[in-house]
Amino acid sequence: MPKKRTKTRKRNRKTNNKKTNKRARPRKKTDNNIVDVPFSRLRSKGTYASSGGIHFHYQKYSNVMNYLRSLNVTNACFFKNRDAFLNLNIDKQNMSVKTMGLDQNLFLSDLRECLKTSKRFIPIILNLATKDGNHANILLIDKQNERIELYEPHGSRKSDSVLGSVKGAYSKKIRELKKFWRSILPEFNVVNMVDYRRGTHFQLEYDPENNSGFCVTWSILFAHYRLLNPDIKPDTLIKYLSKKITTVKLLQYAKYVEENIKHKI
């Protein structure tokens, strides 16, 4: 009899482990000592997914900060009054960076509060408003290295590349960001992170077909990897992501974000 009970307990432990591990694959370090983000075993349905009780949609900008806050990371500071959010109109005549949904004085007040803390990173959403619709980028202020890191999900683009029918929009975006931050954090440099991996990568190469854009998911993904790997050289991290994240991996990560937000909000 005692032996039979032991076998039953072992079977129960195995069953419980399977249930626990169903949602996401465990994180592990790679050969580059890069810590991977979690991925669901399931894939996001993207445009075809149900919104659920909280009206979740994978393209919502609120997902960015809702998810990053849920990670409980110790090296990121988040704005108190509202999400840190900047807007750039991609326009031939007038391009300028402005605060979005928040008075600039409140934006600067929250920014100063974060700068006072010991937390290294400050994530900020950057929306690009084009005549074709909105496109998400993300900024990470790295206080330690005095950098403002920009992640563009489209990857590295040529200086004359077109966005929203505006020729050279990507390079003009960098120019406007430098102008905006020069008066606020003059000692910080704006770094276009995707320039560490030239050519077509990320969203333009791996976004799923028959779905509208995953730029919000790509932005969350970059920020998550950066926060988990603060001391990995940026060029090493970007080159790793360009190889690691395929369409399948992107959909598995999008599903993990969806599961996490639906369970925690």
The tens-digit pLDDT sequence of the chain (265 residues) is: 444 444 444 444 444 444 444 455 556 676 689 999 999 999 988 654 544 443 446 678 888 999 999 999 999 999 987 889 999 998 877 889 999 877 899 999 999 999 999 999 999 999 999 888 899 999 999 999 999 999 999 887 776 687 877 888 888 999 999 999 999 999 999 999 999 987 666 876 767 765 567 999 999 999 999 999 999 999 999 999 999 999 999 999 999 999 888 875 4
Contact of 43 with 58, CB cutoff 8 Å? no
**Model pTM?**
0.83
How high is the pLDDT of residue 34? 97
All domains in the chain, ordered by first residue: 54-264 (3.40.395)
Instruction: Indicate if the alpha-carbon torsion angle 97, 102, 103, 109 is positive or negative.
Output: negative
Tell me how many degrees the CA angle 115-118-120 measures, rounded to the nearest 5.
75
For 130-214, where are the alpha helices, taking DSSP H only? 169-182, 203-206
Contact of 46 with 240, CB cutoff 8 Å? no
Question: Which of 143, 177, 172 lies closest to 157 in space, CA to CA?
Answer: 172
**Secondary structure class of 140 (helix, strand, coil):** strand
Contact of 63 with 79, CB cutoff 8 Å? no
Q: Which single residue is written with the structure tokens 């990371």?
A: 73
Pairing of strands 189-192, 97-99: unpaired
Q: Which single residue is written with the structure tokens 């592990």?
A: 28
Contact of 40 with 256, CB cutoff 8 Å? yes
Burial class (CB in 10 A: 0-12, 13-18, 19+), 12: exposed
For 92-144, where are the alpha helices, taking DSSP H only? 104-116
82: Cβ contacts below 8 Å, ≥ 6 apart:
101, 102, 106, 110
